[in-house]
């Protein structure tokens, strides 16, 4: 009986290992196919032992630099606005290390600085000369803040698109995350890397037809094709969220630089109790949370003496897809202000 059970366990282990090996081979082939099917539109810039993809279009100065948030879209985060912005002035979107077409970087203890340094190197080598207008979506806001902190002489204007505030973690620290959500996050952190390298993430992604508004199917499919390889480095960036915000706490003075802040105020009051619970909220603290969101965007707008603020209510976090015309207008406002200063 024991021998029979041992054989069964051995057979099961062998089957699982075979399945995982087959999945890993499938994933490797799929990654190579993705590189052939979805070619980089921009240039692969050698920044020293690895390449960074940067896609610059249009002509003119100042140059608009587009920084994506904590997702796997990379340069394609801007597909709904890139071409239109390039009609106004030269506009560059890029992929951070390990995202989409850019090579991954070795492990670093100084991620915020290294991301800014990577971008600065790529722009220098590609001969994309300042002044720059830095545009950051979501956590791209802290990234361009760090870039401005390090290379401020090159930055002439700033646009934040639904970006987190440096004090955000302090403001929400008393919100209790439901146990079910904590467990779900823990399971995801444990098994997601294995899913990415064995093809399971790719298989699941291919079962969905979800896309952002104003996003082409080609771009949506391209992001899904690169997602399993992009997610490894993205997990490092996500783990750096709190410490990254801490690093920019003192970087809140942009002087007289033209600046535009776009923000989305979520109307939590319209959510069901179940939706609130899944977000770690209870109805009695909803007014305070919404007030905090309003404070954060107004405070961001105060970081420059030459700024504008526009708030939306219950639109998508991805304002550049949901309301591309608003992002284009905000960037154009800053471009025009900078051009007048350059005369």
Residue 157 has pLDDT above 90, yes or no: yes
Confidence of residue 31 (pLDDT cuts 50, 70, 90): low
Confidence of residue 184 (pLDDT cuts 50, 70, 90): very low
**Given this model, what pLDDT does residue 179 score?**
40
Residue 37: pLDDT band (50, 70, 90) is confident
**Rounded alpha-carbon distances, angstroms, from residue 333 to 88, 269, 320:** 11, 33, 16
Of 129-138, 261-270, 277-286, the range with the lowest mean pLDDT is 277-286
Give the closest residue to 35 by CA, choosing from 233, 228, 248.
228
Q: Integer distance in angstroms from the first to the last C-alpha of the chain?
A: 89
**Cβ contact 246:280 at 8 Å:** no
Tokens 């920019």 found at: 248
Q: How confident is the model at residue 320 (pLDDT cuts 50, 70, 90)?
A: very high
Between strands 155-161 and 258-265, the pairing is parallel
Residue pair 312/161 in contact (Cβ under 8 Å)? The answer is no
Checking if the pLDDT of 305 tops 60, the result is yes
pLDDT over threshold 80, residue 12: no
**Residues 277, 176: Cα–Cα separation, whole Å:** 10
Look at 181 and 7; give whichever has higher pLDDT: 7
Q: What's the pLDDT band for 117 if we cut at 50, 70, 90?
A: very high
Spatial separation of the C-alpha atoms in residues 156 and 254, rounded to whole Å? 9
Instruction: Render pLDDT for 92-115 as a digit per residue (tens, 0 to 9).
Output: 999 999 999 999 998 888 999 999
Matching residue, tokens 């403001």: 171
Tens-place pLDDT, residues 216-249: 999 999 999 888 888 888 888 998 998 999 999 9
pLDDT confidence of residue 132? 98
Q: What is the pLDDT of residue 183?
A: 38
Q: What is the pTM of this model?
A: 0.86
Query: Which own/partner contact pairs does 187-191 have at CB distance under 8 Å and 24+ positions apart?
Result: 189/235
Query: What whole-number distance in Å separates Cα of residue 86 and Cα of residue 103?
Result: 26
Angstrom distances, CA of residue 159 to CA of 11, 136, 238: 58, 6, 22
**DSSP characters over 53-89:** EEEEES--SSEEEEE--SSS-GGGGGTTTHHHHHTTS
Q: Which of 131-135, 175-179, 198-202, 256-260 has the lowest mean pLDDT?
A: 175-179
187 has a pLDDT exceeding 50: no
- Alpha-carbon torsion, ordered 196, 235, 97, 252, to 10 deg: 160
Query: Is the pLDDT at 26 greater than 80, yes or no?
Result: no
- Which tokens sit at 308? 């504008």
Domain ranges, ordered by start, for the chain: 43-342
The pLDDT value given to residue 199: 54
Q: How far apart are CA 94 and CA 78, in angstroms?
A: 10
Q: Work out the number of other CB atoms within 10 angstroms of the CB of residue 137.
A: 29
Structural fold of domain 43-342:
Rossmann fold (3.40.50)
């Amino acid at each position: 009986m024991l021998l029979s059970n041992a054989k069964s366990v051995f057979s099961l282990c062998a089957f699982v290992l075979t399945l995982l090996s087959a999945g890993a081979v499938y994933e490797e082939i799929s990654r190579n196919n993705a590189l052939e099917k979805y070619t980089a539109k921009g240039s692969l810039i050698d920044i020293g032992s690895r390449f960074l993809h940067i896609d610059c279009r249009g002509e003119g100065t100042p140059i608009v630099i587009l920084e994506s948030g904590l997702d796997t879209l990379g340069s394609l985060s801007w597909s709904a606005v890139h071409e239109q912005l390039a009609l106004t002035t030269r506009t560059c979107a890029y992929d951070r290390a390990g995202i989409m077409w850019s090579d991954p970087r070795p492990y670093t203890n100084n991620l915020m600085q290294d991301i800014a340094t990577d971008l600065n190197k790529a722009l220098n080598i590609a001969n994309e000369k300042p002044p720059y207008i830095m545009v950051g979506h979501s956590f791209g806001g802290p990234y361009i803040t760090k870039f401005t902190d390090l290379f401020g002489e090159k930055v002439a204007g700033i646009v934040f698109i639904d970006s987190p505030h440096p004090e955000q973690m302090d403001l929400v620290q008393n919100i209790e995350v439901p146990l079910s959500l904590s467990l779900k996050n823990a399971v995801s952190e444990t098994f997601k890397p294995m899913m990415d390298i064995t093809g399971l993430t790719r298989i699941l992604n291919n079962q969905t037809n979800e896309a952002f508004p104003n996003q082409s199917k080609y771009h949506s499919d391209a992001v899904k094709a690169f997602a399993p390889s992009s997610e490894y480095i993205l997990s490092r960036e996500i783990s750096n969220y709190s410490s990254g915000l801490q690093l920019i706490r003192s970087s809140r003075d942009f002087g007289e630089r033209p600046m535009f802040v776009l923000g989305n105020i979520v109307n939590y009051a319209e959510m069901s109790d179940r939706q609130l619970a899944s977000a770690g909220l209870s109805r009695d603290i909803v007014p305070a949370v919404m007030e905090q969101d309003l404070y954060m965007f107004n405070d961001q707008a105060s970081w420059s003496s030459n700024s504008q603020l526009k708030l939306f209510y219950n639109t998508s976090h991805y304002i550049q897809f949901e309301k591309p015309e608003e992002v284009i207008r905000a960037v154009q406002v800053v471009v025009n202000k900078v051009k007048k200063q350059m005369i």
